[in-house]
Amino acid sequence: MDTKEKIRMLRKRSADKSISREERQSALEEYKYEIYRNDKRKLISVVDQEKFTAVQSLAYSVFFALMGIDLGDEHTNIWMLYIFAPIVFCVFLFLNRYFDLKFKKEPDDELSLRNKALSNTIGFYCAIIVTIIAALIYFQILGHDTLVIRSKSAILMIFSYINMMLFINKVIFLIIEGRVKSIDDETEAEE
């Protein structure tokens, strides 16, 4: 059976209501994997995908924080909100679409899913620790008595915090995955 025929058969089987749900799911997964295997575009690995997401999350976190923080008597910068914000979003939107069209994404396997779950758990506790440390620095070391968050800034600070947590999760995942390189003894030439 040639590849196109196999893909057609798998797609048909994944939509066949006469077979069980598990068999349809299995056929769907195999169909997606065959599409991926026969895709001739250059591959972007799971690690590279996470690196891009980490950079994007950090950029969004810093950006939303800068927009939301009330610095002394300064108000939210209108230029940031109406000019810079759309530019930043458009840049990342463009990059996301560019990568989607130009490259094929390596799918997650059981190990990467396990490492992502592990990094999410560790990242949650790290985010709490980072928050406590930031609060200690702000109130104790820098000596501020209050932190003013206006209602218009609250949603921006929430977005910033969520992106910061996402960034921490991605960094932990990259650290876990990076340990593989230290034990990789097959050279590029051999591959």
Q: Which residues bind another protein (CB under 8 A)?
A: 33, 37, 45-47, 106, 109-112, 177, 180, 183-184, 186, 190-191
Start-to-end Cα distance in the chain = 29
Q: How far is Cα 82 from Cα 67, in angstroms, rounded to an integer?
A: 11
Nearest distance, CB of residue 166 and another protein, angstroms: 22
Nearest distance, CB of residue 50 and another protein, angstroms: 12
Query: In terms of Cα–Cα distance, which of 119, 101, 121 is closest to 47?
Result: 119
Nearer to another protein, 47 or 149 (CB): 47
Nearest distance, CB of residue 23 and another protein, angstroms: 15
Q: Tell me if 122 sits within 8 A of 172, measured CB to CB.
A: yes
Nearest distance, CB of residue 144 and another protein, angstroms: 45
CA angle centred on 34, ends 32 and 39, rounded to 5°: 95
Nearer to another protein, 17 or 40 (CB): 40
Nearer to another protein, 2 or 191 (CB): 191
Nearer to another protein, 60 or 177 (CB): 177
Please give the DSSP secondary-structure letter assigned to residue 78.
H
Query: In terms of Cα–Cα distance, which of 108, 86, 112 is closest to 177?
Result: 112
